[in-house]
Chains A and B, each alone.
Chain A
Amino acid sequence: MKFSRSFKFGGLSVDLRRNGGDHDAVQNAYLPATATVLLKQHEGAAAHCLVRRGELVREGALIGRADGPGQAAIHAPLPGVVYDIRRVRLPSGGDCEAVVIALEGSFDRLGKREERYLWKSMSRIDILQTLRDRGIAETEQPARPLFEVLRPEKRFSTLVLNALESEPYLQSETMLLAGRIGEVLEGFAILRTATQATQCFLALDATLPELAARVEEAAARLTPTPASIRLEPRYPQDMPERLSEALADKRRDAEGETLFVRPTTAFAVYEAVVLAKPFLERYVTIAGGAVKRPAVLKVRIGTPIGDLIEECGGFVGSPERIVLGGPFRGVAVYDLDAPVTKQTSAVLALSAEETQARRRMPCIRCGRCAERCPERLDPAHLYRLVSAGRFEAARAAGLESCSSCGLCGYVCPSRLTVSEALASARDATVKRGKSA
């Protein structure tokens, strides 16, 4: 294979498609009997509930209003009756209000011919307003509401379509892109208008040359034509810091921020602006060694993950851990009732063979973590400092540049929770720094 571009230090060459299976087409998942729609599906604050128990809602009706910072509008993914409004525990900690909708009545959108709206004449503010009203959020962590990301007062110089899968197992981005190149690129063009970015890039997976060529061909019609860059899919290549590193020499020096956007997000933007469709469904990868038939499904928000696993043939053996998102940065869940949210890129049922969980042992200073750390930190040393409560020393040693890729925890032969300890210490010191 010819030399392909990547970031400079650390990282891990993993088979990014491992155990994801080869999927021919993305199928719609069965509609759930009840959908549990969280009023907070990302970092930030919960939306204000607009419905009462027993109320009838139509497909796409606004059920959660966003009128403050960090909120995103929430819509009913199914037509039906509001069966319950209750507090549910979030996998990432804390709890939040959720609207439970029992499927009933008829669909306003599903199966109907889609109307297209012209957006070329829309102003930047109009587009932002539309994205806000339709509840569009980033489709992977940190999954901020797109309106927050794009705020009118911000200035962007660069827009990057990040078509790399973020982690092993994940397939949603690739599958979506392969099937919907035109729509994804149109969403990308809308975002170009919304950001007024002067430079555009496509970050494509170098190991999928056929797909990359198709995307490049389709992108040639856009103005300005985005520059294509094929990257080695080495974890964590998809993270903004690593992409910036790989793009460094291509980018002209320009004032302003860079926006990295995933195909699934661009697709949601397309649907919101062109089809006037709120965020009701998304692509979800169901994979892992404990899943019988791994697949990528188009899933309604609020579907319990148990339904998805069942649709994929159920479990093989007993799963050791169930994860929402990727294996390096995802969140483990307690049970199969957890619902799909706007940021659920994958549901993984991992077998013991994959988790390789073991008893914790003391650090033997083997240096494997430092070898992998893309930020060139010495995680073992930081871990010692943090464990001893020496946060200031840890900060001086670069704690704040930890990007929580999880590689140090992955390679640790002693199974220390290095990455978790560093992440929580980093967040604590950042918070303390702000309050001081």
Chain B
Amino acid sequence: MKKDLRMRIGHAPHIHALQSTASLMWGTIAALVPALVWGLYSFGLRAAMTTLAAILGALAGEALVGLVRRRFTLVDGSAFLSGLLLGLAMPPGVPLYVPAVAAFFATAFVKGAFGGLGANWMNPALAGLAFALLNWPQAMGQWVMPRQLTGIAGISGATPLGLVRESLAAGHAGSDPVGLISQAGYLFSPFDRSVTDFLNRVLFEPFGASLPSGYVDLLVGNRPGTIGEISGILLLAGSVYLLARKLIRWEIPAAIFASYALLSWVFGGLAQGAGFFAGDVLFNLFSGSFIIVAFYMATDPVTSPSRRGGMLVYGMVIGSLSFLFRCFGSRAEGSAFAVILADCALPLFEKIGAQSRRAAKAV
């Protein structure tokens, strides 16, 4: 045996848990892949280029800051994740400079200027999205129908959420949003019809209920929307992976879901003139960017509280604001702005989460 073996020494502890910050980032990216693939299939080459532009923009911003600070941070996955999230939050028809510039802004200014990973106070992807929405509101409203609905990719159309607003503004009334959008000429896929028929026959009719058409499309992702948000079911599948691998904690999404669903049910009908306890929870959950925001953006550890109590309150604030913006606001990206607002109040949530009075004083 080598007697002269010289070991590297270091401080205790000498063993570590498997998880590293980089594996956290790349794990979240992996969880987004199914939703990304669905988005690319639905919207075609244009969507791929949009996502790529966002990722490249984010990496460029990170690299530039890295050059200034003499630190090479591209492999940690955080810039890639910000770029990917921003790309997924883009409408597929947007001009390519929008995602590129917004992503560059996100990593170079929102994150890099404050000191890089861990030092930013606002979620970079959401900040980039807000940047794009404020600068190019027209371009950010270029919705495209997915190929499942129209047969070919690239035909423009309105999102279900936009249609609900339009038809309400035009004076139509009706308690259920799905009914409203079909009145407005929104098409459902043949897939939706057959699955709905099947479910009604097997599951609901024996109990005297029936599922109206349209919901299956919303759930699966046969609808216009941003590249990544449309397939609720694939996003949920990814979130199961995130939770199982303990990449995110359950508290934040659970609080967001609970508060948002409750408010949607109680007050969601008001905008359509249907009174209390008449909201369409399912439609509200699956028609916008709610799911991707709740599981993938609000859970960013850097900008969310680190203790359970704080997480729950933070989640409830996001859920409530999301609902407020969704049903009484004017833009589609309500939940994104809800998270940004909640990020601003982070120190307060941290204080709520501190377990003892001593800790609360110290935070």
Q: Does A334 contact B (CB under 8 A)?
A: yes
Q: Does A378 contact B (CB under 8 A)?
A: yes
Contact flag A330-B14 (CB < 8 Å), given A362-B118, A381-B363: yes
With most chain B CB atoms within 10 A of its CB, the pick from A310, A365, A393, A417 is A365
Does A381 lie within 8 Å of B12, measured CB to CB? no
Does B306 lie within 8 Å of A365, measured CB to CB? yes
With most chain B CB atoms within 10 A of its CB, the pick from A310, A333, A356, A396 is A356
Q: Does A32 contact B (CB under 8 A)?
A: no
Instruction: Tell me the complex Cα distance, A367–B22, Å.
Output: 16
Q: Which of B12, B16, B118, B301 touches A367 (beta carbons < 8 Å)?
A: B301
Q: Which of A332, A366, A377 touches B7 (beta carbons < 8 Å)?
A: A332
Q: How many residues of chain B get a CB closer than 8 Å to chain A's CBs?
A: 43
Q: Does A5 contact B (CB under 8 A)?
A: no
- Residues in chain B near residue A306, CB distance under 8 A: 1, 3
How close is B17's CB to chain A, nearest CB, in angstroms? 5
Instruction: Tell me the complex Cα distance, A362–B15, Å.
Output: 19
Main secondary structure of the interface of B (DSSP, over half): loop
Does A364 lie within 8 Å of B117, measured CB to CB? yes
Q: Does B70 contact A (CB under 8 A)?
A: no
Contact flag A321-B14 (CB < 8 Å), given A364-B301, A364-B302, A396-B362: yes
Q: Does A245 contact B (CB under 8 A)?
A: no
Instruction: Tell me the complex Cα distance, A333–B12, Å.
Output: 11
Q: Which of B7, B12, B307, B354 touches A322 (beta carbons < 8 Å)?
A: B7
How close is B107's CB to chain A, nearest CB, in angstroms? 14
Contact flag A334-B6 (CB < 8 Å), given A329-B12, A406-B13: yes
- Residues in chain A near residue B361, CB distance under 8 A: 396-397
Instruction: Give the interface size class of chain A.
Output: 35 or more
Instruction: Tell me the complex Cα distance, A335–B6, Å.
Output: 5
Does B7 lie within 8 Å of A397, measured CB to CB? no
Contact flag A367-B306 (CB < 8 Å), given A310-B1, A381-B363: yes
Instruction: Tell me the complex Cα distance, A357–B119, Å.
Output: 23
Q: Does A309 contact B (CB under 8 A)?
A: yes
Does B20 lie within 8 Å of A323, measured CB to CB? no
Does A356 lie within 8 Å of B15, measured CB to CB? yes
Q: Which of A168, A332, A413 touches B21 (beta carbons < 8 Å)?
A: A413
Does B307 lie within 8 Å of A365, measured CB to CB? no
Q: Does A295 contact B (CB under 8 A)?
A: no
- Residues in chain A near residue B19, CB distance under 8 A: 411, 413
Q: Does A420 contact B (CB under 8 A)?
A: yes
With most chain A CB atoms within 10 A of its CB, the pick from B10, B18, B361 is B10
Of residues 1 through 39 on chain B, the ones whose CB sits less than 8 Å from some CB of chain A are: 1, 3-24
Does B307 lie within 8 Å of A367, measured CB to CB? yes
How close is B59's CB to chain A, nearest CB, in angstroms? 17
Q: Does A348 contact B (CB under 8 A)?
A: yes
Chain B positions within 8 Å of A, measured between CB atoms, are 1, 3-24, 76, 115-119, 249, 301-302, 305-307, 354-356, 358-359, 361-363
Can you give 14 contacting A-B residue pairs, CB < 8 Å? A328-B12, A328-B14, A332-B7, A333-B9, A334-B9, A337-B3, A348-B14, A355-B15, A364-B24, A365-B306, A376-B355, A378-B306, A409-B13, A413-B19
Chain A positions within 8 Å of B, measured between CB atoms, are 9, 91, 168, 306, 309-310, 314-315, 319-323, 327-337, 348, 350, 354-358, 361-368, 370, 376-378, 380-381, 385, 393, 396-398, 406-407, 409-415, 417, 419-420
Known: A355-B16, A361-B20; 19 extra A-B contacts, CB below 8 A, are A306-B3, A315-B1, A327-B12, A328-B14, A329-B13, A332-B12, A354-B15, A356-B15, A361-B117, A362-B116, A362-B117, A364-B118, A365-B301, A366-B24, A376-B356, A378-B354, A380-B306, A381-B359, A413-B23
